[in-house]
Amino acid sequence: YIEGPEEGWYDGAGIFFAIILVVMVTAVNDYRQDLQFRELDAKNKDLRVNVLRGGITVSISIYEIVVGDILVLATGDQVAADGLCVSAASLMIDESTMTGESDHLKKDPITAPFMLSGTKVADGYGAMLVTGVGQNTEWGRLMASGKDPEEAAAKLEKLEEQLAQNQISQAEYDDAKEELESEDKGAETPLQVRLNGLANRIGQLGLGVAVLVFIILMCRWLSNFLKEDRKFATEDLEKIVDYFAIAVTIVVVAVPEGLPLAVTLSLAYSMKKMMNDNALVRHLKACETMGGATTICSDKTGTLTTNEMTVVKSWIAGNQREAEDTQSDETKRTLSSPVMTLLLQAICKNSEGEVYTEQDGKPLNPPMFTGTPTEMAVLKYGHALGADFKAVKAELQDVARDPFNSTKKKMGVLCKVKDGYRVHWKGASEIVLRLCTKMLTSDGSIVEMTEEKRAELFVLIDSMASKSLRTLCLAYADYPTVKNAEEELPDHDLICIAILGIKDPCRPGVPQAVERCQMAGIVVRMVTGDNEKTAKAIARECGILTDGGLAVEGQEFRRMSNEQRVARFGPKLEKLQVMARSSPSDKYDLVHMLRGLGEVVGVTGDGTNDSRALKEADIGLAMGIAGTEVAKKSSDIVIMDDNFASIVTVVRWGRSVYSNIQKFVQFQLTVNLVALTLNFIAAVATGQAPLTAVQLLWVNLIMDTMGALALGTEPPKEELMKQKPYGRTSPLITNIMWRNIIGQTIFQLAVLLIYTFEGYSLFNLEEVTGECKLVLEDGEVAHSYSKELCVDAAGESQWHAFDDHEKHEQHDTLVLNTIIFNTFVFCQVFNEMNAREMEKKNVFDGFFKNHMFMGIIAITCVFQVLLVELLGTFASTTHLSWDQWLICVAIGFISVPLAVLVKFIPVPEEDFFRLWELAQLEMLPRLSMSSEGVAQLKEAQERAYAAEYELAQLKGLKPPAKDEFGLEADSNDKKSAEDEIAALKAQINELNAKLQAKSDVSPAEIKIEGAE
């Protein structure tokens, strides 16, 4: 042993203990996070399903389904058990998760009754008798065998089978495989990827410094060794080992393994808290991405409104009525029998909802209504009219049904009547009314619908819509015969029965939530299937539609090119605030274009057809109450209460995650810079590092695990909602952070380097440089540390000059190094408090409310005292006096007022590195370059132009001009452009001449593409 068995094991044991402590703390944190993720995963899998029990439809957990239950299915639902179809209305099932087949299969009780767990309802509705649950289903048997059909590996296996059987092409296989691989890599969030990159760069810097320090120390040793002209001894090996330990220590402190840990801790903490705020996070990356959202495209129904609909206005057979009038006996009497019969048929037969008047043989008062909120509003209206639902439904026999979907925006039912067939249609007023050629009058007679009457009804619809009412049109038609009813119901020559105005009030708190978003720099858009007037009225009520804001219908938006959209709505479509009568494909197009323009898009969705837009968006937000299982599976976050205010809360938590990571990065980089620079300078100047391996491992624990836990769990503050979104390309380390880091680093390095080189005189300590052995008169041997005394008494030959390692082990040197270590730690403790606020002067705001932060600071201080006072043998520390302790704490505390002063230093908004790049670009033309340099510059300009040109083509925008990149336009380009301009001018002059001559000018002539 170099140091002997008595003391040689101290360093090794100390390092081993420190490593065990770091590993244990990290393992406990990881275990707690894993428990949280499992809990959230269990909530994700706990689906709600509708079953028929006791004669009524009830909602239960997927785990409560038993064999014999009747499972009620609607579009977007997941089939939660194996079973047999007992009723179906255009029921289409997506079995791709089980069979790999992308085509939807039609189910009915006769020809295709078998249904499998894990499949999804793509369209229609129906009911299923449960025959198998849990492990007794096909899905359960696959899961028990270790093959999850929804895992990437299982999906890839199915793709390979399809490719082998030539069911898909190689190109389709490659695209699907690439998408699956990208999903599989999605375990790491974008911020974790960025931080891993930052950690790698810092680690590489630390490794470089460590290698440099080791080389310098070895050069010093080799120089002394050659001067002394002696043989290699055990002491030399000890020095080399010490130098290597110093280098390893620098690497240990440089590698910031706490950066990715901080993200995980912050995300886990945020996910838990967000669950309490009605937001179930399905994908980790959504937490942080939502904080950078620059625009939110929100549905109207249920998100911005209460989803509690009631019919408040109606037009029935030529007469307008308020809802209150409908419930009066006089009104019921004024409706003739034929009109009442047809109206109640339209309400009761053409519905996917149900009305239950009794349960377990006991009457229900009021009755229970099921179905979508719109369906329930119409059914309640029918109940107010005195409808007997069972009797009305029993009157006519159903032949075929066409369920409602967001593309058709209407639904129908075909029934058998005495003289043939009767079809009832219900849907968006503008769509159904255009299909009507006749109308019902108050006495039950049928008259032709003139264009004047149709225009009058459209004015009525607009009047209702301007009062925030959603309108539905009820119509019917009788046909002697119907062909191919199973494929498509007839919808020609319809007879208009009624138009209903349904009120869905704005949710309380939504206008305030929208205002908070707008203050936070987030553009809120409403995307709805309602008509434009209704959408604009609700949007104004919610504060979404502002002065200068524009609304557009989905059909019109669909017809416009990207260039036309930008010209009308602004470079980032910022003027587009409402999209009405939109289809799922319109929503997808809007999201796709916004992302192409560099926006970070959050989009809400509840229907099956919304899944494409939810997947395309940066953050897909599904509705927990109204949302289908397909929509939830496609989303990143499920809003459990369907409330827009909860979406704003998610934004705040997302910003908090990003802000907390920035705080931790600021704190960690300061520690890294100080520790690296201090150990490098001291090791080169004195041959020894003032901070030992055990000490730096303790600092590593403070700044990595403990720092991540303290700063990563800071609760969100309302101030975050007053900042601009950080967007997609904002730098992680901002100018404000660099200012704070540099200010603290300069202060700490100045103090610690003064201690290192002038500490002996500052603290009245003696620097011992050697010793000699003096033989006293009584024969005892005494040690003297004074060179003058030794030379006078025994001659210079007896004087032994200490090397760097021996100097380091002297008591006063140990005291000084302990003071340096203690001051360094307390600087980090107080700087951890500074990191809580990057811009605010008062860093103690809310400090005493964050019990986690206070606890970690207290634990750090207690362990620091124990490390210095009781564990000095292992940590290379020694006892300090009270005044030395006070000095260490006081110097550390100075970093708090210093942080306040540093925050008065102004910094530019533009990133420092971006400013440097711009300065370099400005200098380029002024530099005198060789012909080779000029050629390289031109090549770079051409590459930049080509990239921008390709980007413009992808976005459908106008290509950039070459002169913007310092390039001359081609002569052919100039000529063709000049010719085009001349032709346009000639066409405009011709039109002006026609106008002056008052000639007829058609709109087609006036519209000139590119005339702008």
- What residues are labeled active site? 299
Q: 353 in helix, strand or coil?
A: coil
Q: Measure the N-to-C terminal CA separation of the chain; round to a whole number of Å.
A: 87
Identify residue 142 by its one-letter amino acid code: L
Q: 36 in helix, strand or coil?
A: helix
**Six-digit token pair at 448?**
């032709």
Identify residue 93 by its one-letter amino acid code: I
Residues 6 or more apart in contact with residue 953 via CB below 8 angstroms: 959
**What whole-number distance in Å separates Cα of residue 273 and Cα of residue 268?**
9
Provide the 8-state DSSP code for 65: -
Phi-psi region of 930 (alpha: psi -120 to 50; beta: other; left: phi over 0): beta
Largest CA distance in the chain: 140
**What whole-number distance in Å separates Cα of residue 464 and Cα of residue 470?**
8
- Cβ atoms within 10 Å, residue 341: 14
Provide the 8-state DSSP code for 704: I
Q: Choose among 492, 479, 490, 478: nearest CA to 437.
A: 492
Q: Choose among 448, 364, 349: nearest CA to 402.
A: 349
Provide the b/e sequence for 522-549 (b: ≥16 CB within 10 Å). Answer: bbbbbbbbbbbbbbbbbbbbbbbbeeeb
Q: 265 in helix, strand or coil?
A: helix
Q: 638 in helix, strand or coil?
A: strand
Q: 595 in helix, strand or coil?
A: helix
| Alpha helices in 2-121, H assignment, sequence order | 9-45, 96-99
Identify residue 97 by its one-letter amino acid code: T
Q: 963 in helix, strand or coil?
A: helix
CB 400 within 8 Å of CB 484 = no
* Cα separations in angstroms, 417 against 178, 341, 480, 487: 55, 13, 9, 20
Residue 496 — φ and ψ, nearest 5°?
Answer: -75, 130
**What whole-number distance in Å separates Cα of residue 545 and Cα of residue 417?**
48
**What whole-number distance in Å separates Cα of residue 807 and Cα of residue 738?**
38
Residues 6 or more apart in contact with residue 573 via CB below 8 angstroms: 565, 566, 590, 593, 594, 597
**What whole-number distance in Å separates Cα of residue 922 and Cα of residue 914?**
12
Phi-psi region of 81 (alpha: psi -120 to 50; beta: other; left: phi over 0): beta
Cis peptide before 715 (omega within 30 of 0): no
**Six-digit token pair at 440?**
């019902």
Rg of the chain's alpha carbons, rounded to an integer? Answer: 38
